Structure 1
Amino acid sequence: MACKSTVAAFFFFFFLISLIEPGLSYEIQSVESDCTNRWIHIRRLPSSFNLDLLTNCSEYSLYDNFCPYLLNHGLGPKTHNRSHSWYRTDPFLLELVFHRRMLEYPCLTQDPTLANAIYLPYYAALDALKYLYGPEINSSSQHGLELYKYLRSDAAEIWDRYEGHDHFLVMARPAWDFSQPLNIDPPLWGTSFLELPEYYNVTALVLEARAWSWQEQAVPYPTSFHPSNLHLLESWLKRVRNSRRRSLMLFAGGGGISATPNIRRSIRNECQDNTTDDDASVNLNNQQICYIVDCSNGICEHDPIRYMKPMLQATFCLQPPGDTPTRRSTFDAIIAGCIPVFFEEQSAKSQYGWHLPPEMYDEFSVFIPKEDVVFKGLKILDVLQSIPKAKVRKMREKVIELMPRLMYRRHGSSLVLKTTKDAFDVAIDATLERISSRLKDVSIQ
């Protein structure tokens, strides 16, 4: 019953938005000084491609019930009643969060011929559930075809104008989940959305991109921190800057318990070796050497209280790859002012170029090749303890400087906060630049 009431409330919200969307967009445009080359048209899609998908929030027995996390337009419920900025956010609901923020974008136009880009409010990750966990698992090559048929049958001139090169959408899962080769029998994991020739020209914003594809670009995983005004953001930045770092390094995650050599097992072994007694667990700076937050079986996924306080008290946060190279924990750590330690370039450096320029990585993070740790006996502790204190302080300041552009602020934020670009703003600016460049490259303009 609670799930149904949650979805009903969510539907009611979007019903209201559908009535006031034009007025909302034009009202906000009045505070924007220049929309030149920044106009976006939101393509109106049947509800079967977005809102109707929310009614299945508890339908898939092999997938978590995401009904409770639809609250607050996809940010999830607050961590506690008095919270102003912290929510139990599910990162796979980024499509809803992004859609809500798009309705506040200051340069919306109802005329697609005036638009520099076309946004498709299609909840691709939610629609994929029926192929990943539901009854259509053997038809995963069909994912996206119904949308394409609609785009070509309803106002086809919008698509045909640039053959989809000016279109973009958000797909709130790693690109690997949409990259199953066509005509594979039996089907492998995932759907074939990104393998369909029909979508080769569309820009897809995903949580993790493939290294070779030009279709997608990785954007930050949503954390649980969504401030609504500048005061709340500055208060958190002050807390992060003043937090006492009692642990040298921290790992928040699961895995590492198998007998097979891997980076997570090496991390756990090194942490256990340095926490066997009081003398071994404290270094010369009176810090605990290693701290583990056990997040096995997904117990941390919607509970930021479990890991944010330990991250606030740690100097370095270890970010080993898991099933895929990237981790939401990377962004949780940065929000906590904890310097990330990467073991694969695919974990971030070759992923989030819009938000974390590759040339900056030495300024805010540490890279240790996982092969050196797993197979050559390199100790993570030795690497981290060799970094001078002055450099550590500079790295933390850089992390704090980058923090605002990696968070997704709450919808309806004050205009003062809107002068600070967040992950959404950075993604939109870069998407517009990407589409403009692509149109020039294909000589369509």
Structure 2
Amino acid sequence: MAASASASCRSPLVWFFSLAAALFFASWYLLLDSAAAPARRQGLRSPTPATKCNPDKALLRVYMYDLPPEFHFGLLDWNPATTATAPWPDLLTPHDVPNYPGGLNLQHSIEYWLTLDLLASEQGAPTPCTAARVRDPAAADVVFVPFFASLSFNRHSKARASDDRALQRRLLDFLAARPEWRRSGGRDHVVLAHHPNGMLHARYRLWPCVFVLCDFGRYPHSVANVHKDVVAPYLHMVDNFFNDTAGYNQRPTLLYFQGAIYRKDGGFIRQELYYLLKDEKDVHFSFGSVAGNGIEQSTRGMRASKFCLNIAGDTPSSNRLFDSIVSHCVPVIISDEIELPFEDVLDYSKFCIIVRGADAVKKGFLINLIKGISQEEWTSMWNKLKEVERHFEYQYPSQPDDAVQMIWKTIARKVPSIRLKINRLRRFSRFQANKTNESPARSSWLQSQTR
């Protein structure tokens, strides 16, 4: 009887402590989950150990310079904890991998994702192994320059612009002293300059390189062009629209645009379209910015719209296109000078409407074009958006055919052209001994033959 009473007294206590323990662990889990949210927003996940990439099986073999941290992760206030992986983070120790700054900085963060993927190929973190790091430059297809040019520009901004210029000068000095550079004149070097103002002071001396850019709006054709260089997508700012069932009839807004209306350079077309469309039924065309809850507003607006306007601004491209794609809002591109990522393998006409600027500003042309697209045709493009959106995702560990792997594949397709340029350069290498007697005209001609 006493034993039974004792057991009945203990039952409430056991129940109470069990409940308390469950609440504690649940709260701790939520706290950890909340702390991990910024990393998830960036696509950064803790990797598990994997086998290293076999360069012989990789599509692209890459030699990467071991630049000091001040050129890359040091800009994220990272310092090497050990000499084992210096000057690089230990990817198998998640706390050693710094996060990239949030906000609009993220849209040009390609340098971060590509470098992480290349490090992962050597350190044994999971990667599709499209590109593999090699230690012998003679065995490499390309030479990777891990300078975080976009972050350097954003980090130093106008107040410390001299620091950005100084880094670029030191990079040029470093490259000029390297045998890899002298061997090819830089033609097999890959330079990341995704921000339109990145590499502003060095770009004219780096013209032989393969630039990875967002567009060519602020580059002369002799320095950067679609034949030599790679156009990479922005990282989208709105969240992915997972499990999207909001089809044609669930999207009440016909045409959506929210952003800066008055722009310089090629962006004048925005204000013309604003006056043409602002009073049209089922059209949302208004000023907006990322301040406050601007991104949340754009997310809701794009998900509730059938078509999303992507109009040239200060430069031919913007991350708005990629926001539209992951929102499954059919992009309407009005930017005559735009170059689109991976267009040699993607047919944008299957999921975008592309209109010349001169046509778009004709009264009634654009709205009648949009209204004339049938529900069946729109649904086909909507489904295609959900199919291709994976190609515009930046993440670590990278996944097959995401933006990181698509960029590597695009670079790999440039390799035959790069080799042709280098071989043409070497035509005259046997006759370079008496360079002092070479006339300026002949020197200029030789340079032109290898562009």
Under TM normalisation by the shorter chain, which class is it? Answer: 0.5 to 0.7
Q: Tell me: CA distance 1:73–1:319, structure 2 relative to 1, closer, same or farther (3 Å).
A: farther
Are the equivalent residues in 2 in contact too, given 1:293–1:307 (CA < 8 A)? no
Q: Tell me: CA distance 1:211–1:157, structure 2 relative to 1, closer, same or farther (3 Å).
A: closer
Q: Tell me: CA distance 1:95–1:140, structure 2 relative to 1, closer, same or farther (3 Å).
A: closer
Partner of 1:365: 352
TM-score computed with the length of structure 1 as normaliser: 0.67
**Aligned mates of 1:437, 1:261 — CA distance in 2:** 34
Partner of 2:256: 250
* 1:23-422 equivalences in 2 (<5 Å): 27-29=51-53, 34-35=57-58, 38-55=60-77, 73-74=98-99, 90-105=106-121, 106=129, 107-128=132-153, 133-136=158-161, 144-153=168-177, 156-174=178-196, 177=197, 191-196=200-205, 199-209=206-216, 210=219, 212=221, 213-214=224-225, 216-224=229-237, 236=242, 238-239=244-245, 244-256=250-262, 262-274=268-280, 281=281, 289-292=282-285, 294-296=287-289, 298-299=290-291, 304-347=295-338, 351-352=339-340, 354-357=341-344, 360-374=347-361, 376-408=362-394, 410-412=395-397, 418=399, 420-422=400-402
1:436 aligns with 2:436: no
**Aligned mates of 2:344, 2:211 — CA distance in 1:** 19
Q: Deviations over 1:99-148 (max 9, x none)?
A: 223222432222322221221110112334588613556x9877633112
Q: Quick one: which amino acid aligns to residue 149 of structure 1?
A: D
TM-score computed with the length of structure 2 as normaliser: 0.66
Aligned residues: 350
- How much identity, in percent, do the aligned residues show? 17
**Aligned mates of 1:45, 1:126 — CA distance in 2:** 16
Q: CA deviation at 1:437?
A: 2.0
Q: CA deviation at 1:407?
A: 1.8
Q: Tell me: CA distance 1:40–1:91, structure 2 relative to 1, closer, same or farther (3 Å).
A: same
Q: CA deviation at 1:243?
A: 8.6
Partner of 2:9: none
Q: Deviations over 1:194-240 (max 9, x none)?
A: 212xx12211101222473345322100114788xxxxxxx825456
Q: CA deviation at 1:253?
A: 1.0
Q: Quick one: which amino acid aligns to residue 235 of structure 2?
A: P
Are the equivalent residues in 1 in contact too, given 2:63–2:135 (CA < 8 A)? yes
**Aligned mates of 1:136, 1:75 — CA distance in 2:** 20
Unaligned 5+ residue runs, structure 2?
A: 1-34, 40-45, 79-95, 122-128, 427-451
**Aligned mates of 1:373, 1:325 — CA distance in 2:** 15
**Aligned mates of 1:436, 1:257 — CA distance in 2:** 40
**Aligned mates of 1:170, 1:271 — CA distance in 2:** 38
Are the equivalent residues in 2 in contact too, given 1:117–1:168 (CA < 8 A)? yes
Q: CA deviation at 1:310?
A: 1.6
Q: CA deviation at 1:172?
A: 2.7
Q: CA deviation at 1:319?
A: 0.8
Q: CA deviation at 1:33?
A: 8.7
Q: Quick one: which amino acid aligns to residue 306 of structure 2?
A: T
Unaligned 5+ residue runs, structure 1?
A: 1-5, 11-16, 57-70, 78-86, 180-190, 228-234, 275-280, 282-288
Q: CA deviation at 1:257?
A: 9.7
Q: Tell me: CA distance 1:388–1:171, structure 2 relative to 1, closer, same or farther (3 Å).
A: same
Partner of 2:194: helix, strand, or coil?
A: strand
Partner of 1:308: helix, strand, or coil?
A: helix
